[in-house]
């Protein structure tokens, strides 16, 4: 468990304990604080997504409220992992070659969802971008599970064959 904490904190290198490591140690969050921050952001993301689904049934503005709250929920959910890994490590992992396409599609759909809700005022387009955002987020998320993408591809090819 200590090794897992060191890896998630970004302290997995074998340093001799110099002044720089003491400064880094003093400015990083403790493990308990990281877990609390993760849980708070993740729960906030889930609540925003659920609120978005509830707003979907409101006449006229419901679809736009859904798109906005759903996107805020996804941002909070992604932000929650920043507490566990740290922002630099999270961004590096997001833009690794295996996740690059999913990350770009997810972020692009997130921005397009908000643009279609606020500037273009096209509710149907916002809904389409939300659906694409969901699939991109799911594809991005399963990239962290070994062989999960291969299993999903195999499942779909078996079902469609």
Say how far apart CA 9 and CA 86 lie, in whole Å.
7
Say how far apart CA 82 and CA 63 lie, in whole Å.
29
Q: What is the pLDDT of residue 17?
A: 54
pLDDT at residue 153 is higher than 90: yes
Q: What is the pLDDT of residue 144?
A: 86
- At 91-115, the pLDDT tens digits run 999 999 989 999 999 999 999 999 9
Give how far Cα 92 sits from Cα of 20, 45, 95, 102, 118, Å.
22, 22, 5, 14, 30
Q: What is the pLDDT of residue 14?
A: 46
**Alpha-carbon torsion (28, 32, 33, 36), positive or negative:** positive
Q: What is the mean pLDDT of residues 46-67?
A: 89
- At 3-30, the pLDDT tens digits run 556 655 655 554 455 665 555 555 577 8
* Angle at CA of residue 51, ends 39 and 79, nearest 5°: 35
pLDDT, the chain, mean? 85
- pTM for the whole structure: 0.73
**Is residue 126 within 8 Å of 63, Cβ to Cβ?**
yes
């Amino acid at each position: 468990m200590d090794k897992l904490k060191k890896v998630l904190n970004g302290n997995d290198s074998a340093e001799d304990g110099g002044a720089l490591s003491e400064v880094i140690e003093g400015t990083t969050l403790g493990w308990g604080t990281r877990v609390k921050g993760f849980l708070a952001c993740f729960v906030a993301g889930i609540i925003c997504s659920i609120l978005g689904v509830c707003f979907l049934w409101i006449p006229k503005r419901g679809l736009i409220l859904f798109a906005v709250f759903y996107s805020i929920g996804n941002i909070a959910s992604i932000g929650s992992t920043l507490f566990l890994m740290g922002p630099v490590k999270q961004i590096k992992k997001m833009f690794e070659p295996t996740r690059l396409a999913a990350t770009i599609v997810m972020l692009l759909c997130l921005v397009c969802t908000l643009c279609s809700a606020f500037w273009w005022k096209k509710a149907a387009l916002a809904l389409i971008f939300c659906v694409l955002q969901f699939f991109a987020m799911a594809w991005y998320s399963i990239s962290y599970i070994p062989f999960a993408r291969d299993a999903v591809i195999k499942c779909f090819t078996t079902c469609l064959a």
